[in-house]
C-alpha cells in the first residue's frame, strides 16, 4: 500500500448500500497515514451511523449545513480549505448528478463546490443506472472538469444482478489517493503490459487454455498508470474492468497477442510480459465441431511465437523487459534459466498450485530475479505486489 502521510482527506459518503464499506475505508486511510474527516449525506445516515465513523476517524462527523455550532464560524468553508484531497465513496447516481450540475443543496455538494483540493468520486449503483446515458453524461462532465472517477468495478451487486456498478474496494481507493499525492515517478514513460491467458481454438466449440485470470497484469497496468506512466494493456480473454487511465487492446490467441505486442513496441520504455501465453496451439483448426469417436484422439500441436524472447531481441527493445514464470517446482532454477535464455532484465517467479495464491486468486507471493540480485515479495494482495514491481521498474529506468 502507498502512503498518505501528511494528507488531509475529506471523505464524503452518499446514500447507497456500499456505504457500509466506508468504515473500512476510513480505517485504511488512517493506516496509510492520512488525517480523515467524514461528511454524511442524509441518505447515507440510513446505511451507516455517524457514531461509527466518528470512532474510526477520531473526529466529529458532519451531516448538515445547518449545524449551528459548526457554522457559527463558517465551518463548511473551513472544512473545504482544510482538505488536501476530497473523496466521495460511495458516490451514488444522484450525488454524481448534483455535483455535475454544480448544486449546493446539502453539505457535501457545497463542499465540492467550495474546495480547491482535488476531488475523486467512487461510483456505486445498479448496473443499469451506471449504464444510463444520463449517468454517463454526468460522469463525462465531471471528468472534463478534472474530477477523478475511480471505478466502478464489475461483479455481483446487492440487488442480485451482476455487472459494472460495484464500488472500488477500500484498499484500492487508498492506493489511488496515495498515487496522486506523490510525485509521479513514471511521468512521461510508456509501459506496455500483456496480461491474461490465450485461447487456442480446436474447433468452433472447444479451445486449449489455461487458468490465468489476468489480475496480476491488470494490477501492474493500474499501478503504473497511478504513478504517471502512459500504459497500453494487451489483454487476453478475461472478465476484468480496464484500469483507470489505461488504454487496452483485447486479443484471444497467442498469434493475436504476438501481433499486438510487437506492433506496439516502438517507443515503449518498459515491457511487462505477465500474460500466460500458450506455448502450443493446434496445427489445424476444424471448421466444424469435432465429433466423438472410438478410442483416443490424436491432436497435433505446433509451437507458438516466444513473445518475451522476441521483445528482448527486438530492434525496438524497451530499456526494461520483465517477464513472469509460473512454476510448480524448482522455481529458482527455472526462473534463472529463463532469465539467461531470454535475455530479459528480470523474471518475476511464483509457485502455482497452492490454495489461495497464484492463478485466479487475489493474493500471490513472488521472487524477482535479475542479474546480480533477487528480491522476495511475501504473500500479499496482487495490487500491493504490483506497486512493488512497478517501483523496481522505475528504479531501473531512473538508473539508466
Task: Evaluate if residue 352 carries a pLDDT over 70.
Answer: yes
Yes or no: say if 270 and 322 are a contact pair by the CB < 8 Å rule.
yes
| More confident of the two residues 100 and 372 | 100
**Closest Cα partner for 324 from 209, 191, 192, 195?**
195
What's the CA gap between 38 and 108, in Å, rounded? 10
Q: What is the mean pLDDT of the chain?
A: 90
pTM of the model as a whole: 0.63
Mean pLDDT value across residues 14-21? 94
Q: What is the mean pLDDT of residues 19-45?
A: 94
Q: Phi and psi at residue 307, in whole multiples of 5°?
A: -60, -45
Q: Which CATH class is domain 190-286+298-399?
A: alpha beta
Domains 8-181 and 190-286+298-399 share a fold: yes
Q: Which three cell numbers stand for residue 131?
A: 449504464
pLDDT at 158: 79
What is the torsional sign of CA 152, 64, 84, 143? positive
Average pLDDT over residues 350-373: 77
Question: What is the reported pLDDT for 72?
Answer: 42
Domain range list for the chain:
8-181, 190-286+298-399
pLDDT band at 68 (very low <50, low <70, confident <90, very high): low
159 part of the active site: yes
Q: For 58-72, 76-90, 138-152, 333-347, which range has the lowest pLDDT when averaged over its residues?
A: 58-72
pLDDT above 80: residue 187: yes
> CA–CA separation, 9 vs 20, rounded Å?
18
How confident is the model at residue 66, as a pLDDT?
72
**387 vs 23, residue with greater confidence:** 23
pLDDT in tens, 156-175: 877 788 888 999 999 999 98
Which residue out of 159, 205, 284, 290 is catalytically annotated?
159
Contacts of 57 (CB under 8 A, 6+ apart): 11, 26, 30, 36, 37, 38
8-181 maps to CATH 3.40.50.1950: yes
Amino acid at each position: 500500500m502507498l502512503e498518505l502521510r501528511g494528507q488531509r482527506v475529506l471523505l464524503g459518503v452518499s446514500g447507497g448500500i456500499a456505504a457500509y464499506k466506508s468504515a473500512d475505508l476510513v480505517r485504511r486511510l488512517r493506516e496509510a497515514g492520512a488525517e480523515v474527516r467524514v461528511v454524511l449525506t442524509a441518505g447515507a445516515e440510513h446505511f451507516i451511523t455517524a457514531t461509527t465513523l466518528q470512532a474510526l476517524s477520531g473526529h466529529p462527523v458532519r451531516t448538515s449545513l445547518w449545524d449551528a455550532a459548526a457554522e457559527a464560524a463558517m465551518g463548511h468553508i473551513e472544512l473545504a480549505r482544510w482538505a488536501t484531497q476530497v473523496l466521495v465513496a460511495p458516490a451514488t447516481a444522484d450525488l454524481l448528478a448534483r455535483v455535475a450540475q454544480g448544486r449546493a443543496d446539502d453539505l457535501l455538494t457545497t463542499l465540492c463546490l467550495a474546495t480547491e483540493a482535488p476531488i475523486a468520486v467512487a461510483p456505486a449503483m445498479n448496473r443499469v443506472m451506471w449504464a444510463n446515458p444520463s449517468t454517463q453524461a454526468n460522469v463525462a462532465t465531471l471528468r472534463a472538469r478534472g474530477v477523478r472517477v475511480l471505478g466502478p468495478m464489475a461483479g455481483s451487486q446487492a440487488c442480485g444482478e451482476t455487472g459494472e456498478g460495484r464500488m472500488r474496494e477500500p484498499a484500492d481507493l487508498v492506493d489511488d489517493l496515495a498515487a496522486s499525492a506523490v510525485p509521479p515517478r513514471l511521468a512521461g514513460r510508456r509501459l506496455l503490459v500483456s496480461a491474461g491467458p490465450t485461447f487456442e481454438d480446436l474447433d468452433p466449440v472447444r479451445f486449449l487454455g489455461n487458468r490465468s485470470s489476468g489480475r496480476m497484469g491488470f494490477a501492474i497496468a493500474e499501478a503504473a498508470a497511478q504513478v504517471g506512466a502512459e500504459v497500453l494493456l494487451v489483454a487476453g480473454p478475461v472478465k476484468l474492468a480496464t484500469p483507470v487511465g489505461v488504454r487496452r487492446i483485447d486479443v484471444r490467441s497467442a498469434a493475436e497477442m504476438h501481433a499486438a505486442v510487437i506492433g506496439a513496441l516502438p517507443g515503449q520504455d518498459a515491457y511487462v510480459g505477465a500474460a500466460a501465453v500458450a506455448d502450443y496451439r493446434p496445427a489445424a483448426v476444424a471448421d466444424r465441431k469435432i465429433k466423438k469417436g472410438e478410442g483416443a484422439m490424436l491432436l497435433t500441436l505446433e509451437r507458438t511465437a516466444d513473445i518475451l524472447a522476441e521483445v528482448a531481441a527486438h530492434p525496438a527493445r524497451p530499456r526494461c523487459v520483465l517477464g513472469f514464470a509460473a512454476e510448480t517446482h524448482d522455481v529458482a532454477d527455472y526462473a534463472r534459466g529463463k532469465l539467461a535464455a531470454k535475455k530479459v532484465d528480470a523474471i518475476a517467479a511464483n509457485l502455482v498450485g497452492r490454495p489461495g495464491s497464484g492463478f485466479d486468486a487475489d493474493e500471490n507471493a513472488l521472487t524477482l530475479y535479475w542479474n546480480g540480485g533477487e528480491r522476495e515479495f511475501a504473500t500479499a494482495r496482487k495490487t500491493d505486489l504490483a506497486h512493488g514491481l512497478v517501483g523496481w521498474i522505475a528504479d531501473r529506468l531512473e538508473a539508466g
